[in-house]
Structure 1
Amino acid sequence: MTLKRLVQCSIVFAFIVILMGAFTRLSDAGLGCPDWPGCYGHLAVPSETHELDKAKQLYPELTVESHKAWLEMIHRYLAGILGLMILAILILCWRQPSAPKKLSAAIAALVIFQALLGMWTVTMKLMPIVVMGHLLGGFSLISLLLLLYWRLTPLQLSHTMSLSPSIKLLAWLALGTLIIQIMLGGWTSSNYAALACTTLPFCEGDWQSQLNWAKAFSPFQGDHISFEYGVLDWATRMTIHVSHRVWAIVTSIFIIWLGLKLLFQHQGFLRTSAIIMLGLLVVQVSLGISNIVFHLPLSVATAHNGVAALLLLSVVTITFGIYQTAQEDHRSSL
């Protein structure tokens, strides 16, 4: 398999891992296995009588829930396979003189850190800051893999007008606001605040007077046996939820602004990418609203995570394409 094809496969596989991670988290299976990297002291979910007896000895206060444990272990198996794929990418990159060695090394380092975050997610009993970090690690990993792919695949850029001076800044602003929005989404999910508001467009009751910003975004939430199902009060969770909603509006404005400028100023790759980005934004907003209206159905909530990853990849692609176009404009002016 060629390096380029392996990177393509790893991007698809990373997306599957992100979806599986979201499905596991939203199914309340993040602690389906109380240890790491095994499950109740085994490499697979215990099912035989002697295995269940051993699990009971190791964790007498817990009961093996096979369906949750298998979700957690499948996620770990998939992540392990992805790690091996990235190791192969690293080896191939270092063997090819023209391949981006520093980028491949950064991806490999991120995989190692991501594995540590996966371990800490379990050992620290779903501490929100760790869970959010694990989610961000997954999104960062797939974004870096996409950048590696574009570094290996020269973009076929064509445009009828030169880039306006503001378009590069606008792309970075769109990317920055989207990253913050993903962070807020991860913080909302890890603190079980997705249903803190169940009405649209605002929360029910006198929500404005109960906002608690300092507590809502403090990474330190005290000592708890477990953070599963959340430890914050309603007002604090509601503040997190409101922040995610409000910043969604800010993010949408920048993405729409960027998309419209590309539609009017460019043809070819950047224009097509803008259409895809705007389409994904519409889908993502619709999924977010559906989560509220239908009270967080598992399929919709999982799709919300997946489309967020795709939207990030589209903005990363556009930002990289704008950077490449600016480089070509600069070279042609010399």
Structure 2
Amino acid sequence: MIINNNNDRYFFYLVSFSFVLSLAVVALGAFTRLTEAGLGCPDWPGCYGFLTVPQTALEQQTAAEFFPHTPLEPQKAWNEMLHRYIAGTLGLFVLAINLMAWRQVSQPKLVPILLLIMVTIQAVLGMWTVTLVLMPVVVMAHLLGGFTIVSLLWLLRLQLQATPVDMTQIGIKTLSRLRIAAIISVIVVILQIALGGWTAANYAALVCSQLPLCEANWQQLFDVKAFLLIQPQHDSYQYGVLDYGLRVSIHVVHRIGAMITTVVVLAMAWLCWRQPVLRRYSWGLVLLLTLQIALGVTNVVASLPLAVAVAHNVTGLGLLVAMVTISYRVGVGSRHSREAEQPLREEQSHG
């Protein structure tokens, strides 16, 4: 799509700002989870029955009466509410994106609809995160929902970009192979992100403090039950409910997944390097992968520093966005190449 009028330009700016805002929501979500502020407000969408964190003595007394078993911790409550406020603002921007998309014939329609659906689902998951007291499957789904919204906003921005990458110098067969490889890479990165979410949701990030896998005898401790999405009901899942062996199983699989993901990303980077028009994506993948590995190792040796853990979440998202970009570029290039060859084939068949 070519941006050729003010409405198109404003729409592009709206999508771009929403994308940046969605990154902030993901980073704040990670910060909220890592500071144990996920239950900073025991109700939803307010906080102890108020639209904001209780501040006056009367409000705090009322909060204590309604939630006697959940004492107010103002800092955690503010962390949680700030995340909700910004997530709610993002939801309004997604609604605006849909309104603008449907008012203008030239704008894409499918991705805005998917965004609106995902924001609705994400709001429900946010509510369940609180009402189901950090049930791991809900926490992981909430993480994946946030990453999906970021990816969809970036995909919409790619569709609106005025200067698409010229793929005509790459053959159709090569583009098809690249597209398959890119789709596989996206799936692998998503699975690794899900494993990271499962590790965090079950508080398994610190059970192994040595490299490359674990100081424990994980082969004997390994149990596939660690990956059952539905767990026995508990009053709260905060700080985890699984035993040591199950947490070790989760942690080790996440590390093995990281090794597999590294191989897949490097293979994709090599395939991109072979095509001059895609070489910049190769550099991007290698840089993001190197940073992610460094952050992962630092998390282990330094016992999960807050800033590093948040950066690890955001960099994982960056890898996903990079893979989505490559997949979209080669997909569009493959389609354009087939469309360009179609008239020639028809002419040859008639001749």
- The question of whether the paired residues in 1 share the 8 Å contact of 2:292 and 2:316 is answered with yes
Aligned equivalents of 1:257, 1:293: Cα separation in 2: 28
Deviation digits for residues 201-248 of structure 1 (CA, Å, limit 9, x no counterpart): 1211322111011x1111122111100000000100110011110011
Amino acid at match of 1:177: V
Indicate the residue corresponding to 1:157 in structure 2. 166
Aligned equivalents of 1:159, 1:25: Cα separation in 2: 46
Amino acid at match of 1:298: L
Aligned equivalents of 2:137, 2:62: Cα separation in 1: 32
Deviation digits for residues 14-33 of structure 1 (CA, Å, limit 9, x no counterpart): 00000000000000110000
- The question of whether the paired residues in 2 share the 8 Å contact of 1:170 and 1:258 is answered with yes
Pairing partner for 1:76 from 81, 84, 103: 84
Residue segments in structure 1 that go unaligned for 5+ positions in a row:
none
**Once the 2 structures are TM-superposed, how far is the Cα of residue 272 of structure 1 from its aligned partner?**
1.3
1:27 aligns with 2:27: no
- The question of whether the paired residues in 2 share the 8 Å contact of 1:132 and 1:183 is answered with yes
Secondary structure at the residue paired with 1:30? coil
Secondary structure at the residue paired with 1:2? helix
Aligned-pair identity (%): 44
Between Structure 1 and Structure 2, whose CA radius of gyration is higher?
A: 2
- The question of whether the paired residues in 2 share the 8 Å contact of 1:193 and 1:241 is answered with yes
Q: Structure 1 runs of 4+ off > 6 angstroms?
A: none
RMSD (Å), alpha carbons: 1.2
**Once the 2 structures are TM-superposed, how far is the Cα of residue 266 of structure 1 from its aligned partner?**
2.9
Indicate the residue corresponding to 2:258 in structure 1. 248
Aligned equivalents of 1:309, 1:223: Cα separation in 2: 31
Indicate the residue corresponding to 1:218 in structure 2. 228
Pairing partner for 1:62 from 63, 66, 70: 70
1:264 aligns with 2:269: no
- The question of whether the paired residues in 1 share the 8 Å contact of 2:168 and 2:337 is answered with no
- The question of whether the paired residues in 2 share the 8 Å contact of 1:120 and 1:130 is answered with yes
Aligned equivalents of 1:227, 1:126: Cα separation in 2: 5
Deviation digits for residues 262-301 of structure 1 (CA, Å, limit 9, x no counterpart): 111232xx22122112210110111111100101000100
1:5 aligns with 2:13: yes
Indicate the residue corresponding to 1:277 in structure 2. 285
**Once the 2 structures are TM-superposed, how far is the Cα of residue 142 of structure 1 from its aligned partner?**
0.6
Pairing partner for 1:143 from 148, 151, 171: 151
Aligned equivalents of 2:45, 2:310: Cα separation in 1: 24
Aligned equivalents of 1:40, 1:322: Cα separation in 2: 50
Residue segments in structure 2 that go unaligned for 5+ positions in a row:
1-8, 343-351
- The question of whether the paired residues in 2 share the 8 Å contact of 1:159 and 1:266 is answered with no
- The question of whether the paired residues in 2 share the 8 Å contact of 1:29 and 1:69 is answered with yes
- The question of whether the paired residues in 2 share the 8 Å contact of 1:161 and 1:266 is answered with no
Indicate the residue corresponding to 1:286 in structure 2. 294
Deviation digits for residues 124-170 of structure 1 (CA, Å, limit 9, x no counterpart): 00000000000000000010111111111251324643252422211
**Once the 2 structures are TM-superposed, how far is the Cα of residue 49 of structure 1 from its aligned partner?**
0.6
